Amino acid sequence: MSKYKVAYYIQASAEKKTKAYSFEEQKSTLDQWIKDMGWKWVKTYYDEVSAKDVKREKFHEMITDAKHGLFDGICVVDSDKISIPTEDLLDIMDELLNYGVRLHVHNLQHIDIYSEQGKFTLTNLAAFKEFFRGQLATKIRAGVKQKMKTEWFGQAPYGYTIVSDLIDGRKKNTRLVKNPEEQKIITKMEQLRNEGKSYSEIATELNKNGVPTRFTRKDKASSWYPSTVRNILTRPEVRLKK
């Protein structure tokens, strides 16, 4: 009798590099699972996704291979690793079943996810996870908003540098201080502007004199542009924390 053939679907975030959800950790969990079950692995489909990229090319390739009978089952560590709405997941499960392919979720291995109770469990799990994700996002936004009231948040404007105090291993009291070298260049810009120079003429003179931009590196040249000069000279006054 031939062994039950399965494929792995593994999805990891391009932003979050936590060990618990890494490719290696998910594969290790699935390897042990199919060993215990006596199943045969045939192929792994891996998508690295980000908040801006949800194309999941390997997921769609896997569905196509399933329809062509390449394997009998699909194994995932958790239902949220598929990252699609629950109603779509249920539709895909039903569609795959028509081709004799079943979905197996490691974290729900003791539940028949094809039963009415199992589908109900999948739906409620998705709802709870979405709720808690929303709650976490709200708390993060509130924390950032509060931090912005007392500390500098974001990139330092030209002419300034970000400094922080390290307290109990965490950066606190993040603030701006003047960058002496960049302040000299701003002063030069202001002098040229007071002499009646246009933003284009100021940029040309800075480039002619080899004045480095913030992005100039030994192996990378960077030029001044009229728009950059204008933005620096016309921006609102930067208020430093006392």
Q: Evaluate whether residue 145 is within a structural domain.
A: no
Residue 105 and residue 164 in one domain:
no
Q: Is residue 140 part of a domain?
A: no
Which domain range does residue 128 map to?
5-135
Nearest to 86 by CA among 120, 54, 61: 120
* Shared-domain flag, residues 40 and 101: yes
188 plus 112 within the same structural domain: no
Give me the residue label for tokens 């699609």.
84
**What's the rounded Cα separation, in Å, for the pair 160 and 157?**
6
In a domain, 143, yes or no: no
Q: Say which CATH number the domain at 24 has.
A: 3.40.50.1390
What confidence score (pLDDT) does residue 212 get? 87
Residues 121 and 10 in one domain: yes
Q: E-strand spans in the chain? A: 5-13, 40-49, 73-76, 102-105, 160-167, 170-178
Cβ-in-10-Å burial (0-12, 13-18, 19+) of 90 comes to middle
Same domain, yes or no, for 170 and 89?
no
State whether the Cα torsion 182-187-191-196 is positive or negative: positive
- Domain shared by 9 and 90, yes or no: yes
185 with 230, same domain: the answer is yes
> Are residues 131 and 169 located together in one domain of the fold?
no
**Domain total of the chain:** 2
One domain, residues 199 and 165: yes
Q: Do 36 and 131 fall into the same domain? A: yes
Residues 228 and 122 in one domain: no
Each of the 242 residues of the chain gets a pLDDT tens digit; together they read 568 999 999 988 766 555 557 888 899 999 999 998 999 999 999 988 764 455 678 888 999 999 899 999 999 988 766 656 656 777 888 888 888 999 898 888 777 877 877 777 767 766 666 555 556 556 545 555 555 456 776 678 889 988 888 888 787 788 888 999 999 999 999 999 999 999 999 999 999 998 988 876 666 667 898 888 998 898 887 777 66
36, 67 contact by CB (below 8 A): no
Residue 51: predicted pLDDT: 44
Using a cut of 0.75, tell me whether the model's pTM lies above it: no
Per-residue model confidence (pLDDT) at position 110: 77
What's residue 186's pLDDT? 94
